[in-house]
Amino acid sequence: MKALLALVVLARVASAQPDANVMSYRVQKGDSLDLLAAELYSNRDDAVFIMAENKMQKPRKLNPGERLRIPITHDIRTEKGDSFESLAKKYLGDEKRASYLAEYNHRSIEDSLATGTELTIPFRITHTATEKTETLASISTTYFGNAKHADEIAKWNGLDKTSIDKGESIEVPVLTVHVRDARLPALDTDSQARDKQRRDAVALAQTALPAAHAAWLQGEYAHVKDALAPLADKTDYLDTDTAVEVDLLLGRAHVAFDDTALAVAAFSRVLARKPRYELSPYYDSPKVLEAWQKAVSQGQ
């Protein structure tokens, strides 16, 4: 098993993680460290993380009935106003880790997050040096089987050195592991509600947008408003491009009926999601551009 022999020499302890990052598990007959790792992480070699969380210095037989702490990833549904920076501070302890959270979820750190967006929070292990000096390369090898993660460990911890001294603790981010969906804990009630609201908004937009576009081409601006009005207070739940598409079309329709305040509100929502977005006088009328400029001014 990868790097387990190194555990005999390099003892470690695991920190107390937030409850969401740890699952309590009662050992069943026939369980073993590598089988649990295979079931949870799809890789037997990742038993090293279970060992670390339970302060095991070397592999051992598991006893039926004993309790283990299992480090796990966990899913969240974003709240209104969440960003990768705020989420990194909340769940990973430092907003500077935002890029890791975005990359782990295969997204850009620049993404505007819709309310109810599904994201997975990685887990990490706290490693405490028991030798006089331990290099980050050796720590990386212990947990991942190679030294490739040494720079990652250094950046995660804001270190400008390549080793730590005895008694010094650092976090080891585990950015290569996802827990199987079937083994993840259920979402809390609020997250479930946001998840449903997002799904409902997406379903509504899939029907409403084509109808609104068809009405716009026919100059039936009242039908545009009728189609998109139910989405006016739900665009926070849509991905950025869809939300912008809805509010641009809705704002233009409001201008057609001289509903300037509603147009400005719609354009302000566009700017909240895409602050650098601009309208062109080539495509839009002076009245639309005037409402747009009011939205820009309000946001400054």
Full 3-state SS string of 113-144: CCCCCEEEECEEEEEECCCCEEEHHHHHHHHH
Is the pLDDT higher at 10 or at 83?
83
Residue 17 CB neighbour total at 10 angstroms: 16
Q: What angle is formed at CA 116 by the lines to CA 212 and CA 183, rounded to 5 degrees?
A: 135
Q: Are 19 and 45 in contact (CB under 8 A)?
A: no
Question: Would residue 67 be called left, alpha or beta, if left means φ above 0 and alpha means ψ between -120 and 50 degrees?
Answer: beta
Asked if the model's pLDDT at residue 38 lies above 70, the reply is: yes
- CATH 3.10.350 region(s) of the chain? 74-121
Instruction: Give the per-residue pLDDT at 109.
Output: 92
Residue 300 CB neighbour total at 10 angstroms: 5
Lowest-confidence pick of 9-18, 46-55, 239-248, 275-284: 9-18
Maximal C-alpha separation, the chain = 77
Asked if the model's pLDDT at residue 77 lies above 80, the reply is: yes
74-121 under CATH 3.10.350, yes or no? yes
Confidence of residue 15 (pLDDT cuts 50, 70, 90): very low
> What are 196's two structure tokens?
């449903």
- pLDDT tens digits, 169-218: 999 999 999 888 877 888 889 999 999 999 999 999 999 999 999 999 99
Confidence of residue 4 (pLDDT cuts 50, 70, 90): very low
Instruction: Give the per-residue pLDDT at 19.
Output: 60
- pLDDT tens digits, 78-89: 999 999 999 999
